[in-house]
Amino acid sequence: MSDIQTDSSEVREIRINPIVPSESVLVATARSMRPKKAEDLAPRDTRKHVETCPFCRGNEHKTPPLIMAWPATGDWQIRMVENLYPVLGDDRAQSGFTFGLQQTIDGYGRHEVIIDHYEHGTAIHEMAESHLAALFGVYQTRMRQLFESDERLKYVLIFKNFGPAAGASIPHTHSQIIAMPVVPENVDAEVANSAAHYAKHHHCIFCALIDEALTFEATLYDRASGAVRRKINVGQYVVERGEKFIAIKPFASRYEWEVHILPLTHQADFLDLRGEDMADLARVMKRTMARLDAVIGGAQYNFFLHSVPHSGSDSKHGVPHDGTRGEYAASYHWHLEICPRTSIPTGFELGSGLFVNTINPEQAAERLRAVEL
Ligand SMILES: [Zn+2]
Ligand SMILES: [Zn+2]
Ligand SMILES: [Zn+2]
> Which pLDDT does position 104 carry in this prediction?
37
335 alpha carbon, closest ligand: 3
Ligand located closest to 185 CA:
3
Between the CA of 336 and the centroid of ligand 3 the distance, in Å, is 7
Label residue 133 exposed, middle or buried (CB < 10 Å: 0-12, 13-18, 19+): buried
Q: Measured between alpha carbons, how far is residue 330 from residues 183, 198, 309, 319 in Å?
A: 18, 8, 13, 11
What is the pTM assigned to this prediction?
0.85
pLDDT at 240 over 90: yes
Using alpha carbons, list the distances in angstroms from residue 252 to 120, 148, 255, 337. Answer: 34, 36, 9, 13
In order of 1, 66, 182, 236, the CA distances from 36 in angstroms are 33, 42, 34, 26
Q: How close is the Cα of 210 to the center of ligand 2, in Å?
A: 8
Query: How many angstroms does the Cα of residue 230 sit away from the middle of ligand 2?
Result: 30
Tell me how far the alpha carbon of residue 113 lies from the centroid of ligand 1, in angstroms. Answer: 13
Flag whether pLDDT at 1 surpasses 90. Answer: no
Of the ranges 168-172, 211-215, 252-256, 270-274, the best mean pLDDT one: 270-274
Q: For residue 270, how far is its CA from the centre of ligand 2 (angstroms)?
A: 12
| Greatest mean pLDDT among 15-29, 83-97, 163-177, 253-267 | 253-267
Q: How far is the CA of 265 from the centre of ligand 2 (A)?
A: 7
Give the pLDDT mean for 298-324. 71
Ligand nearest the Cα atom of residue 260: 3
365 vs 110, higher pLDDT: 365
Distance 335 CA to ligand 3 centre (A): 6
Predicted confidence band at 93 (pLDDT cuts at 50, 70, 90)?
very low
| Helix axis angle, 278-296 to 129-149, nearest 10° | 120
The predicted pLDDT at position 122 comes to: 94
Neighbours of ion ligand 3 (CB under 5 A): 306
- Per this entry, what is the length of the chain? 373
How many angstroms separate the CA atoms of 66 and 80, rounded? 6
Task: Give the ligand at the shortest distance from the Cα of 336.
Answer: 3
Pairing of strands 355-357, 24-28: parallel
Beta carbons within 10 angstroms of residue 309's beta carbon: 26
> Ligand 3 centre and the CA of 10: distance in Å?
28
Interval between CA 118 and ligand 1 midpoint (Å): 7
pLDDT at residue 346 is higher than 50:
yes
Percent of the residues in the chain that have a pLDDT greater than 90, as a whole number: 49
Ligand approaching nearest to the C-alpha of 63: 1
pLDDT at residue 217, rounded to an integer: 63
Q: How far is the CA of 259 from the centre of ligand 2 (A)?
A: 17
| CA 107 to ligand 3 centroid distance, Å | 24
Amino acid present at 303: F
pLDDT at position 322 is 47
- Rounded Cα distance between 361 and 255, Å, is 9
Give the distance (Å) from ligand 1 centre to CA of residue 119: 7
pLDDT for the residue 353? 72
Proximal ligand: closest to the CA of 157: 3
Could you give the CA distance from residue 159 to residue 297 in angstroms, rounded to a whole number?
A: 22
According to the model, what pLDDT value does residue 84 have? 67
pLDDT-based confidence at residue 335 (cuts at 50, 70, 90): very high
* Ligand nearest to C-alpha 57: 1
Instruction: Return the bridge partners of 176, or none.
Output: 113, 159
Q: Which ligand does the CA of 269 lie closest to?
A: 2
Distance 27 CA to ligand 2 centre (A): 27
Q: Which range among 44-48, 211-215, 263-267 shows the weakest confidence by mean pLDDT? A: 211-215
Distance from C-alpha of 320 to C-alpha of 137, rounded to nearest angstrom: 22
Task: List, for residues 130-144, the tens digit of each pLDDT value.
Answer: 999 999 999 999 999
Name which residue leads in pLDDT, 148 or 325.
148
Angle between helices 361-370 and 278-296 (to 10 degrees): 100
Ligand at shortest distance from the CA of 118: 1
State in Å: Cα 223 to ligand 2 middle.
40
Average model confidence (pLDDT) across the chain: 82
Q: In which band, very low, low, confident or very high, does the pLDDT at 371 lie, cut at 50, 70 and 90?
A: very high
Distance 86 CA to ligand 3 centre (A): 24
Query: Is 354 or 157 the better-scoring residue by pLDDT?
Result: 157
pLDDT, tens only, 32-88 = 444 444 445 677 889 999 999 999 999 999 888 899 999 988 999 999 998 866 655
* Residue 3 pLDDT > 80: no
Measured from the alpha carbon of residue 190, the closest ligand is 3
**pLDDT, greater one: 203 or 7:** 203
